[in-house]
């Protein structure tokens, strides 16, 4: 069920109406049923995967008196990791295609965090809370990866609350504009360069590289905004996952505090710290940082296409930048903050090329052609035959950048929800108008739902 289909919005109306009409004890079960319908609507076999992950998590989280807790935890982790490896690398291992559903990684990551966090399932109420935490549909496909201590205590207070619902509407509109207006409008510009990097015009290559940085940002953060907004409609608060990432002044800041924060926190808590973090000397810390980014690159690869070496290179490059910043820090006053942000953005652009290109060869071809034409770009850029799509994309990205810079840390949705009522509704109606006039409702699915 897609957020861009009319069917989903009818489904959402039923979900919110059920929360409003049902007594509080029944609301958690209602949201579990709604999550099952949402996830299994395209393919009922997805319920088998959900049942398996929930079963493993419930057993591994059972009270200590029902078995050795450490053994059950270890077995739970092992099963979940093996399931994820099978789903992503079945071809390399010679195993049958498991037909893994979208968002499986985020479901497994959430389950691992639940088991590691010691969430108990001693009674019916605790079991229902754990299952709802796992299956809550807005975050199921691409996060945020919520921790039990933040989300489960909210379940007794599930309700439609006007103030929180108003914030939810602001997040919904913001997220949809990012996805169906900006990200999906950028998609053809991205494809123009990455589809055939050896043949595309040099300016098209340059435009594609810049466009992809904003496409993946608007696509991914748009999903998180929608998830936050949908949850707020029924009284639940999810973690804010993005904080104007392209304003980062270091690659470390980008990954640790601004880009998919809950995923970065998960890798820190369940990979970096268990490996020793920064406690075992500088060489070990550098190795631990590189391991985190290499594993992140491997996580993006697989899915029946073999080992995606481009993703591995992407992870290695980001890891190398973070290690260099950690051990060779540039004094904060050596360069103006704006210049540091520009340098950081362009370092990230280099890594995104390997993420998006169809293999390392295609990425190197694109970068080589950009380097060969670097001196000619001052003449090529003004003479390029720009289309209406190019101008629209530039306008949308520029408007988004200015709006996020002006909104500050609360974000566009937070600022909009805090405005006086007339201005708030004017902003919401402006967003709805933009969705109706410029939205590409038959565009692509969310990029990270495939991971």
Distance of CA 94 to the CA centre of its chain: 30
Sign of the C-alpha dihedral computed for residues 333, 337, 342 and 348 taken in this order: positive
> Is 300 one of the annotated active-site residues of the chain?
yes
Which burial class, exposed, middle or buried, applies to 162 when counting CB atoms under 10 A from its CB (0-12, 13-18, 19+)?
exposed
C-alpha torsion sign, points 158, 163, 166, 172: negative
- Strand (E) positions, 93-243? none
Tell me if 186 sits within 8 A of 392, measured CB to CB: no
Rounded distance between C-alpha atoms, residue 179 and residue 30, angstroms: 28
Residue 231, SS3 per DSSP: helix
Per the CB < 8 A criterion, the answer to whether 32 and 130 are in contact is no
Instruction: Indicate which residue of 133, 260, 300, 390 is catalytic.
Output: 300
Sign of the dihedral defined by the CA atoms of residues 174, 176, 182, 187, in that order = positive
**Running DSSP on this structure, what letter comes out for residue 183?**
I
Distance (Å, whole) CA 46 – CA 416: 37
What is the rounded distance in angstroms from the CA atom of residue 26 to the CA atom of residue 415?
34
- Where does 105-259 show beta strands of DSSP type E? none
User: Which residues are catalytically annotated?
Assistant: 300
């Amino acid at each position: 069920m897609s957020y861009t289909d009319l069917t989903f919005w009818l489904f959402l109306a039923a979900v919110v109406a059920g929360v409003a009409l049902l007594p509080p004890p029944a609301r958690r079960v209602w949201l579990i049923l709604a999550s099952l319908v949402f996830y299994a609507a395209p393919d009922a076999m997805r319920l088998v995967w959900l049942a398996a992950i929930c079963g493993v998590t419930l057993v591994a989280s059972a009270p200590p008196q029902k078995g050795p807790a450490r053994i059950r935890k270890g077995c739970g982790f092992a099963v979940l990791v093996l399931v994820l490896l099978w789903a992503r690398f079945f071809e390399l291992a010679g195993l049958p295609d498991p037909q893994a559903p979208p968002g499986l990684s985020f479901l497994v990551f959430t389950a691992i965090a639940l088991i590691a966090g010691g969430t108990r399932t001693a009674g019916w109420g605790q079991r229902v809370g754990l299952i709802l935490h796992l299956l809550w549909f807005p975050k199921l496909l691409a996060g945020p990866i919520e921790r039990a201590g933040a989300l489960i205590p909210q379940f007794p207070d599930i309700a439609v609350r006007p103030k929180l619902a108003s914030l939810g509407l602001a997040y919904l509109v913001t997220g949809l504009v990012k996805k169906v207006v900006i990200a999906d409008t950028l998609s053809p510009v991205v494809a123009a360069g990455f589809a055939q990097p050896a043949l595309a015009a040099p300016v098209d290559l340059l435009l594609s590289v810049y466009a992809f940085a904003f496409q993946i940002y608007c696509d991914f953060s748009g999903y998180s905004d929608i998830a936050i907004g949908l949850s707020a409609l029924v009284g639940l608060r999810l973690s804010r996952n993005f904080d104007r990432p392209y304003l980062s002044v270091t690659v470390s800041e980008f990954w640790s505090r601004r880009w998919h924060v809950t995923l970065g926190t998960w890798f820190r808590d369940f990979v970096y710290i268990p490996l020793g973090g920064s406690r075992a000397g500088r060489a070990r810390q550098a190795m631990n940082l590189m391991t985190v980014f290499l594993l992140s690159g491997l996580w993006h690869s697989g899915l029946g296409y073999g080992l995606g070496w481009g993703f591995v290179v992407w992870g290695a490059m980001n890891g190398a930048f973070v290690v260099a910043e950690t051990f060779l820090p540039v004094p904060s006053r050596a360069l103006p903050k704006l210049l540091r942000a520009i340098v950081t953005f362009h370092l990230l652009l280099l890594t995104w090329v390997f993420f998006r290109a169809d293999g390392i060869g295609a990425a190197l071809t694109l970068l080589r052609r950009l380097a060969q034409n670097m001196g000619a770009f001052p003449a090529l850029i003004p003479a390029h035959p720009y289309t209406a799509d190019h101008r629209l994309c530039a306008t949308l990205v520029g408007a988004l950048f200015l709006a996020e810079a002006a909104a500050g840390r609360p974000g566009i949705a937070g600022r909009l929800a805090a405005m006086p009522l007339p201005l708030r509704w004017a902003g919401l109606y402006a967003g709805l108008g933009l969705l109706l006039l410029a939205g590409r409702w038959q565009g692509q699915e969310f990029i990270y739902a495939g991971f």
